[in-house]
Amino acid sequence: MPGLTIGDTLPNLEVETTCGKFMLHDFVGQEWVIIFSHPGDFTPVCTTELAKVAAYTERFEERGVKLLGLSCGDIQSHNNWIKDIESYSGGCKVKFPIIADPKREIIKELNMVDPDEKDATGKQVPSRALHVVSGDKKIKLSIQYPATIGRNVDEILRVVDALQKTVNHKVATPVNWKPGEPVVIHPGVSNNQAKEMFPQGYSTAELPSGNDYLRFTNV
Ligand code: BEZ
């Protein structure tokens, strides 16, 4: 069963968080949101990940992106753990809510279950799942890492930049793209349309096939 993934609508669940109870759709509003899960409170990889996200919070805010963490502890455990995270991050505050899911119900609804990892009592734990949701409440990007592999927060920022670029222009981002680098024109855009859409011009790679599908521009 594939579970929640790109193209799906985020379920409008009521969640209890370190910043109070709310419905997920109310939290999203008209903005971009990253919902990301952690296998457990007071675990080493999770602490390093959350410390880095805390340090990068302003960079997400600059992009109009709100953050929403999730771990299986209860609120009291989360609040105690946050003290460790803020200490490890050198004082960067955890300003975003962290969902409490002690009964492991929300992780099932949000496709955030690690199939292999169990906690000390044999219960299932969350994977390192991450969904990027836009104001239409749809999942625009989804990743799943196992509990043992920490995510790369620079990569998460990069894909947010790429997503926002491709929403605003009929383009796609090529391999290893970084902000400021050329993008490729969407294959569904004809050359005549491209001339109108991209008055700044574009260049076409010469390829053995003679086909002119690899077109670079700057937006
Ligand atoms: C961790 O966060 O360090 C972790 C959690 C579960 C399994 C492995 C690592």
pLDDT digits (tens, 9 = 90+) for 83-140: 999 999 999 999 999 999 999 999 999 999 998 988 888 888 899 999 999 999 999 9
Beta bridge partners of 131: 35, 142
CA–chain centroid gap for 153, Å, is: 9
Which of 19, 46, 72, 92 is labelled catalytic? Answer: 46
Pocket test for ligand 1, best of 36, 38, 45, 52 (most atoms within 8 A of CB): 45
Whole-model pTM: value is 0.95
Pick from 154, 125, 159, 173: nearest CA to 53: 154
Task: Indicate if the pLDDT at residue 53 is higher than 80.
Answer: yes
Task: Indicate if the pLDDT at residue 1 is higher than 70.
Answer: no
Contact 84, 42 (CB under 8 A): yes
Query: Phi first, then psi: what are they for 146, rounded to 5°?
Result: -70, 165
Question: Is 19 designated active site?
Answer: no
Cα 119 to Cα 33: distance, rounded to the nearest angstrom: 28
For ligand 1, atom 9, the nearest C-alpha belongs to 148
Q: How many residues does the chain have?
A: 219
**What is the separation, in whole angstroms, between the first and last Cα of the chain?**
39
Pocket test for ligand 1, best of 43, 48, 72, 128 (most atoms within 8 A of CB): 43
The whole-number pLDDT of residue 119 equals 86
